[in-house]
Each structure stands twice: as structure tokens, then as C-alpha cells.
Amino acid sequence: MDLKVTTLAGKDAGKLSLSDEIFGLDPRDDILARVVRWQLAARQQGTHQAKGRADVARTGAKMYKQKGTGRARHHSARAPQFRGGGKAHGPVVRSHAHDLPKKVRALGLKHALSAKAKSESLIVIDDLVLGEAKTKALIENFAALGLTNALMIGGSELDQNFQRAAANIPNIDVLPIQGINVYDILRRGTLVLSKAAVQALEERFK
């Protein structure tokens, strides 16, 4: 498939042929959902912790004698049914991460890219470079391109001026090609790729 290439100023910069194996697939929601769930699970901190009966500071002495009181049999006041006792089956510190096959992860990225291409939410820019780190100038460029909510993917090394100017703009994310991922692609309305990013993607999936 052919896509028009523009400059950051919105001028025509020719056309670029995109691989149908990467940008021309029929997106599958189930694969995208699996990859997003895998990403968010790995990101989850898992630092939640409740005190169990072994952690609360209460006496371990038997509350009262076993027989003869007419009351239920109890031992420790640390038991969950008592006020101040430990939590039964409470959350513990753990990792929420789970495995996902590499082939599914790679397929998820292809389907996310194809979803943006199919919805016409994919823009290719010749180079993400600014002469000066001026946020106001970059906002004007984005306005000319109609970008208000976008993920910008550059080459292996980002231009420092562009990165600094974009850092202050809300709903605009800038990542190098190494950081491209399904979740960030789907959470932004438009995907903007540099020519270097397209070339790196096609080399990655050869």
C-alpha cells in the first residue's frame, strides 16, 4: 500500500510504499486485547499487602478455657473473625506479569499498525527534526497537520529539540522505534511514523 509522506510543516514529500504484511492485515480485536492485557499486567506494581494473622501485633495466648464457658472454642485473638485480627486471604506482594508467546506479541504489533492504517489514522513524516526546541512552533505544525492526540515514533535516536518541544504538549507522546508498543498505539488517536521508523519496522519483521 502507498501512503503520502509529508513534512513536519505539512508540505508534500512524496510517497512511501508500506508492506501489506505489516500495515495491511485485517485487525483482530482478540489478539490486540491479549497483548494489551499482557502489557498492563507487567506494568502493575503488585505492592498491595494486607496483614495476615502472623503479622498483626496481638497476643497469641488462648482467649479463655476450652470447655465450660458455653461459648465457642477459640484460641488466638489474631484470628480473622476478631476486631484487630489478621486479614484472611488478603492481597500479598506479588508480580502480576504473565507469559505471552513472542509470535503473539509480534502479531499484536502488526495488527495495531494495521488498525491505524485501516482507520486512516496513520501519518508518515519524512523526519521528526526541529531547528529549535520551541513548543509554540511545534504546536503550529501539529495544528496544520490536524494533530491533537497522537503518538510520534521516530528513529533509533530522537532529535533532542523535537523531544523537548513536544514534552509540554498534552496528549502527544514521543517514543523512539525501540519503544513502540501496542498499548501506546491504541491509546492515542493518530499514529505518526517517521520514514526511519517505517524502515526499522520493515527490517524488524523481515
Cell of 59: 497476643
b/e 132-165 (16+ beta carbons within 10 angstroms → b): ebeeebbbebbeebebeebbbbbbeebbebbbbb
Angle (CA) 138 179 142, round 5°: 15
**Cα distance between residue 30 and residue 18, in whole Å:** 24
Contacts 24+ apart (CB under 8 A), 115-119: 115/27, 115/32, 115/186, 116/185, 116/190, 116/191, 117/1, 117/3, 117/18, 117/23, 117/24, 118/26, 118/27
Nearest to 185 by CA among 123, 113, 107: 113
Query: HSE (CB half, 13 Å, CA atoms) of 203?
Result: 10
Whole-number CA gyration radius for the chain? 27
**Cα distance between residue 36 and residue 51, in whole Å:** 32
Q: Give the bridge partners for 190, in sequence order.
A: 150
What domains appear along the chain, each with residue ranges and CATH number? Answer: 2-44+97-205 (3.40.1370.10), 47-93 (no CATH)
pLDDT at position 9: 83
**Cα distance between residue 66 and residue 91, in whole Å:** 32
Residues of the chain with pLDDT under 70: none
